Structure 1
Amino acid sequence: MSDELAATAKELDAGDELAAVRARFVLDDVVYLDGNSLGALPAAVPARIEDVIRREWGELRIRSWGESGWWTAPERIGDRIAPLVGAAAGQIVVGDSTSVNVLKALVGAVRLVDDAEDTGDIREPGYTGVVRDEIVVDATTFPTDGYIAESAARLTGRTLRPVPPGEVPAALSERTAAVLLNHADYRTGRLHDLPSLTAAVHAVGAIAVWDLCHSAGALPVGLDEHGVDLAVGCTYKYLNGGPGSPAYLYVRREHQDRFDSPLPGWNSHAEPFGMREDYEPARGALRGRVGTPDILSMLALETALDVWEGVSIEAVRAKSLALTDFFLECVAAYVPEGRVESLTPVRHEERGSQVALRCADAREVMRRLIERGIVGDFRRPDVLRFGFTPLYVGFADVERAARILAEELR
């Protein structure tokens, strides 16, 4: 069986239309299956950052804000991310962390609802006079999103209601102000139904906020197509921006003139160098900016996005599903029966770009895998998590990972 699956992997790699993209990254003989935590280094980034430091900062110094385009980086890079999440230009601004952007988006969402109710311009089926006093949050969310949601509820005088994603439609009502959901579950890789959940949120007149950290760069999102109101995401996972690279905020065009960020800063002012005492927000998604952009990591991200030249997100999704299918096939063939349990959905429409395996001694198993050059990660209490980044993971990598996993589990 091992020989057969190794031969299959070789055939699949030979027919992989994305195989050449691997050369755009700095890689070694390690099988790197942790790109859903930190993407690999794009090969062009070191030289770009050296130029930024030595020439733009070292020689041009403050002139680089204008001459090197530092000032416009947040929106310029946002426009490069936009096609990867299905958004038109002018709706994404890059900066700050995911956590900070969650706060902006969630408080901004509640303020959008409050403003609509004050003006009578609420979504269908219409404002009925009931106070929208609830924020619904994904009960399985990454902890920080939950912490921020709880704080946003206190800041806006709302009650926080944690609900499992599958139960969200039934939990929604005319009391719902905003809903914060994850597109893909960070533990299991389960992909939640963004189109139908967004439609359900809109049906009760609420605002939909999506966290795209585990889907952007791994699969089509369709923000514009599906009417998402606000979205946030990080750039250091499937977008390969580097450790701590800045996150982004999507503000749907129709909401931009009413989006009221809870973090107004001089960078989001209509006249940032006017130094006025009164705050007037900039036009468009720029009102999502706050303070001085983090230029070094911002420009590393901009160069990292060059790896997407000539790559379609649809091709990435097709390979992602093929990789995860093949990994599950290899695990079933190699691993002793009953030793692991897959938490990852079988159906493609419910699967992100990772596989999670429940294993009684998961922490120790992952430690040994890493020692043998198979890098995934461990999630408490008993989950082995493997992320599949189609831009640089091949089918031979997948077969090797499953085979070594089986050896350790025996």
Structure 2
Amino acid sequence: MSENTTTTTTAPTENLRERALKLDAADPLAGRRALFALDDGVYLDGNSLGALPVHVPARVQDVLTRQWGELRIRSWDESGWWTAPERIGDRIAPLVGAAAGQIVVGDSTSVNVFKAVVAAVRIAGEGRDEILVDATTFPTDGYIASAAARLTGHRIVPVAPADVLAALGPRTAAVLLNHVDYRSGRLHDLPGLTAAVHAAGAVAVWDLCHSAGALPVGLDEHGVDLAVGCTYKYLNGGPGSPAYLYVAERHQAVFDSPLPGWNSHADPFGMTAGYAPADGSVRGRVGTPDIVSMLTLEAALDVWDGVSVDAVRAKSLALTDFFLECVEAYVPAGRVVSVTPAAHAERGSQVALRCAEAEPVMRRLIERGVVGDLRRPDVLRFGFTPLYVGFADAERAARILADVLAEVPAGNTVS
């Protein structure tokens, strides 16, 4: 199953099924599944779009009918609309290891990446003209960073995360990295890389889209400067739910946003011609908040009440270990190869399998109720959201994968 393995184990199917049931029975997070709207299938695409918490529609109905329909403009004050970006940011903060007052919610991940990268090079100051960008990153991060570089007169330096240390130097202003690689599920060394960036005199910007809500991040503990993330994956905020921006408290007084909208003004209703930035994380705001989707997110975050991120991480690792074991047992040698690191310290909360027939295989998996996704040309991607995915789901998905592979003619086997 791993890159170095060409043989399969011989664990009987029934033993794996029995183990899965026992593991689910002992799982302290198993009760969380009932909080989500799920069908009888196996949903392994929460790393693209999290499942709907069952209580959210009623909360959204209240936003629409009472807060908007009855209170109307009064809801900016009476329903707390105006303070929602910071209030919801404070709810996300514990999930990424941040103290209150450092996260503001609003805009898309892409917009927040732009704010963060431009602000980072401005914090770094003159004499540094390079922005290092993860060469394997989600494409939009690269596009946005390149636009930020053009705006600020800097040069983009694409570099693999493993080569960041060698690429850092006196010209480095900022480094933009993904905490977890969206394609392979590899977890990068946030503490070590952040420390190295600081040692070089540069500013560290992290994209947390594939880690927040799946594993501990430790933004404050590890001295991260700026971070961004989406809320529709492991945080289950809904399609297109607003992203967030983390600005470490030590940088807030000098955070210079390239998008200084009226919402981030020190006196937004003064309507003055000159811009004066507000204090604190409010500086990360731009225009009028997208209230309906923002309050949908706020309601969705209720599923995290009483949940330890450490417990989520422990289950995530156990789930992905078990899924890999089941795939090893069920799938014929050579049909798939895991490109997700085996080492826990290097693994996010997904398993990516290279498969020569990835497109027809994923199509048939979805038809049979196992929903993952595809990263062309040959990667089957399965996301494990510990709040609602169980061990029986992992075993069933691996078993159906083996059935599908038996039906789909093999092309070039992978090694």
Q: Answer yes or no: same fold by TM over 0.5.
A: yes
- 1:368 is aligned, of 354, 364, 370, to 364
Establish whether residue 35 from structure 1 lines up as the match of residue 31 from structure 2: no
What SS does the corresponding residue of 2:204 show, helix, strand or coil?
Answer: strand
Aligned with residue 296 of structure 1, among 282, 287, 292: 292
* Structure 1 SS opposite 2:254: coil
* 1:113 shift after superposition: 1.1
CA distance in 2, matches of 1:409, 1:161: 41
Find the aligned partners of 1:137 and 1:366 in 2 and give their Cα distance: 31
Specify which of 68, 80, 95 is matched with residue 84 of structure 1: 95
Matches within 5 A, 1:256-267: 256-267=252-263
Q: C-alpha offsets along residues 5-38 of structure 1, whole Å, 9 cap, x if unaligned? A: 0000011001000000111111110100000000
- TM-score, normalised to structure 2, is 0.95
Matched, 1:72 2:68: no
Residue of structure 2 in register with 1:46 after alignment: 57
List runs of 5+ in structure 1 lacking aligned partners: 118-130
The answer as to 2:130 corresponding to 1:134 is: yes
Cα distance in 2 for residues equivalent to 1:269 and 1:363: 49
RMSD of equivalent CA atoms? 0.5
Q: Distance in 2 between matches of 1:310 and 1:225?
A: 21
AA matched with 1:157? G
Alignment pair present for 1:18 and 2:61: no
- C-alpha distance in 2, partners of 1:158/1:290? 24
Identical amino acids, percent of aligned pairs: 79
Letter of the 1:211 partner, please give it.
Answer: D
Q: Distance in 1 between matches of 2:39 and 2:200?
A: 51
Alignment match, 1:62: 73
Q: Does 1:220 align with 2:216?
A: yes
**1:44 shift after superposition:** 1.0
Structure 2 counterpart of 1:324, one-letter code: T
Residue in structure 2 matched with residue 168 of structure 1 by the alignment: 164
1:300 aligned counterpart, secondary structure: helix
Equivalents in 1 of 2:41, 2:75: separation in Å? 38
Equivalent AA in structure 2 for residue 297 of structure 1: S
Q: Which position in structure 2 is the counterpart of 1:126? A: none
5+ unaligned residues in a row in structure 2: which ranges?
Answer: 1-11, 407-415
Give, in whole Å, the separation in 2 of the partners of 1:249 and 1:322. 30
Question: How do 1:117-196 and structure 2 match up within 5 A?
Answer: 131-196=127-192
Provide TM-score, normalisation by structure 1.
0.96
- CA shift for structure 1 position 257: 0.2
Q: Tell whether 2:305 aligns with 1:317.
A: no
Q: Distance in 2 between matches of 1:360 and 1:194?
A: 32
Partner SS state of residue 263, structure 2: helix
SS at structure 2 position matched to 1:256: helix
Within the candidate set 249, 269, 272, 1:273 is matched to 269
Match of 1:6 in 2: 17
User: Deviations 1:278-311 (Å, cap 9, x if unpaired)?
Assistant: 0000000100000000000000000000000110
Q: Does 1:97 align with 2:101?
A: no
